Amino acid sequence: MEDFLGAIGPILQSTVRNATPLVFAALGGLFSERSGVVNIGLEGLMLIAAFAGVAGAHFSGSALVGLGTALAAGLLFALIHALMCVTFEADQIISGTAINLLALSGTGFLMVVIFGAGGTSPRVNGFASAAIPLLSDIPIIGRALFDQSLLVYLMYVLVPVVFFVVFRTPFGLRLRATGEAPEAVDTAGVNVARMRYYGVALSGLLAACGGVYLSMGLLSAFTENMTGGRGFIALAALIFGRWNPIGAAGAALLFGFGQAVTFSVNEQAIPIEFIEMLPYLLTIIVLAGFGGRAIAPAAIGKPYRKE
């Protein structure tokens, strides 16, 4: 029993760490998809930002500057996605796939150009753990929740904020409406293209936070393809959480917990590959169970062309 309680703390701490990048990216995907633009480029947006953050921090020596460059890079690539999908009416799935490939090859390219070689970048100043006094002293959960990187605390704040914005503000109402019935939004005098640009731009900023957390929160360096499919797990969390911020965060925590448990088990009771599969499998089951379409924003994936 003692051992069990002793193990919970670290597992919870690891759960939060695994979940944080997923939560950021899933919240980002939520803004994009609620506006009607599929964003399977989350993976790429995170990766680009993870690199840009490290590059910014490397040259400035400041983690905050790194965060700034990461946000700028995430925003830039999200805007490329928006430009393609909204303005040029390209296919959203194709554009998202291209963003992923561009991020992977682009960061590889820049690693060589900037740092002289691929693989892993030099170490930079990151967002180290900073325990919150008192709160972090709570038994068991204290250290897990409140002895974390600043970016984790940002994540705690963002989940309710995103919920409020999406469900309690005029902006959120318009955003949701745009993802459901753009022609109705248009006749109500709201600019559909602008709402979609907002949605995709926000997804870039939030995915960038997730990327920065990977390269400057968990680690203090960039390694090639360090997202390793987390963008797709975030997408899975978004779907699993039924396009709701609380649901998506919950799903991300669940996926993070799964990984935390595996890492803490020494014996190969369950091969790690099967745990890695879990988020993807669960999402497929959820999709099949709910009949897919019924729960996604109705106009998602379709360019809106005015008459």
In this chain, which of 72, 190, 261, 265 binds other proteins, going by CB under 8 A? 190
Nearer to other proteins, 145 or 236 (CB): 236
Site string for other proteins, 211-240 (x = CB under 8 A): ------------------x--x--xx--x-
Please, what's the b/e burial string for 120-138 (b: 16 or more CB within 10 A of its CB; e: otherwise)?
Answer: ebeebbbbebeeeeeebee
In this chain, which of 1, 134, 269, 293 binds other proteins, going by CB under 8 A? 293
Binding flag, residue 161, other proteins (CB under 8 A): no
In this chain, which of 2, 4, 139, 291 binds other proteins, going by CB under 8 A? 291
**Residue ranges of E strands in the chain:** 129-131, 147-149
In this chain, which of 60, 125, 186, 218 binds other proteins, going by CB under 8 A? 186
DSSP 166-231: HHHSHHHHHHHHHHH-HHHHHHTT--HHHHHHHHHHHHHHHHHHHHHIIIIII-SS-BTTTTTTHH
How far is Cα 90 from Cα 302, in angstroms, rounded to an integer? 10
Specify the stretch interacting with other proteins by CB under 8 A; choose among 59-67, 137-145, 208-216, 289-297: 289-297
In this chain, which of 65, 173, 218, 265 binds other proteins, going by CB under 8 A? 173
Contact (Cβ atoms closer than 8 angstroms) between residue 191 and residue 29: no
- Phi and psi at residue 130, in whole multiples of 5°? -135, 110
CA angle 202, 30, 146 (to 5 degrees): 85
Which two tokens mark 105? 């090859």
Specify the stretch interacting with other proteins by CB under 8 A; choose among 145-153, 164-172, 197-205, 258-266: 164-172
Binding flag, residue 109, other proteins (CB under 8 A): yes
Q: How many residues bind other proteins (CB under 8 A)?
A: 74
Specify the stretch interacting with other proteins by CB under 8 A; choose among 10-18, 57-65, 166-174, 257-265: 166-174
CA angle 120, 124, 126 (to 5 degrees): 115
234 SS3 class? helix
Q: Hey, which residues between 31 and 60 contact other proteins (CB under 8 A)?
A: 38, 40
Q: Hey, which residues between 256 and 275 contact other proteins (CB under 8 A)?
A: 271, 273-274
User: At a CB cut-off of 8 Å and minimum separation 6, what does 71 contact?
Assistant: 49, 205, 208, 209, 212
CB of 111 to other proteins, least distance (A): 8
Query: 């805007």: which residue's tokens?
Result: 79
CB of 64 to other proteins, least distance (A): 26
Binding flag, residue 281, other proteins (CB under 8 A): yes
Specify the stretch interacting with other proteins by CB under 8 A; choose among 62-70, 134-142, 183-191, 256-264: 183-191
CB of 184 to other proteins, least distance (A): 4
Contact (Cβ atoms closer than 8 angstroms) between residue 252 and residue 66: no
Site string for other proteins, 87-106 (x = CB under 8 A): xxxxx-xxx-xxxxxx-xxx
